[in-house]
Amino acid sequence: MVQKTPSSRPGGRQATVRVKTAGKRSESSKRWLERHLNDPYVVEATKRGYRSRAAFKLLQLDEKFHFLAPGMRVVDLGAAPGGWTQIAVEKVQTSKEGWKVVGLDILPMDAVPGAVTMQADFLEESASVRLKEALGGPADIVLSDMAAPTTGHQQTDHLRIAGLAEAAYDFAEEVLAPGGVFVAKLFQGGAERDLLDRMKKAFAVVKHAKPAASRAESSETYVVATGFRGVKTSDHRDQGGDDDQDEGRDAR
Residues flagged as binding site for S-adenosyl-L-methionine:
82, 84, 105, 121, 145
Distance between CA atoms of residues 154 and 152, nearest Å? 6
Binding site as annotated, residues:
82, 84, 105, 121, 145
Query: Which entry of 185, 200, 207, 210 is annotated as an active-site residue?
Result: 185
Query: Long-range contacts: 246-250, Cβ < 8 Å, 24+?
Result: 247/207, 247/208, 247/209, 248/208, 248/209, 248/210, 248/221, 249/210, 250/209
Phi, psi angles (nearest 5°) of residue 244: -95, 95
100 is catalytic: no
Gap between the Cα atoms of 67 and 45, Å rounded: 22
HSE (side-chain half, CA atoms, 13 Å) at 164: 24
Cβ-based neighbour number of residue 213 at 10 Å? 22
Strands 220-228 and 203-209: antiparallel
Q: Which residues pair with 127 in a beta bridge?
A: none
CB 199 within 8 A of CB 225: yes
Residues that are catalytic: 185
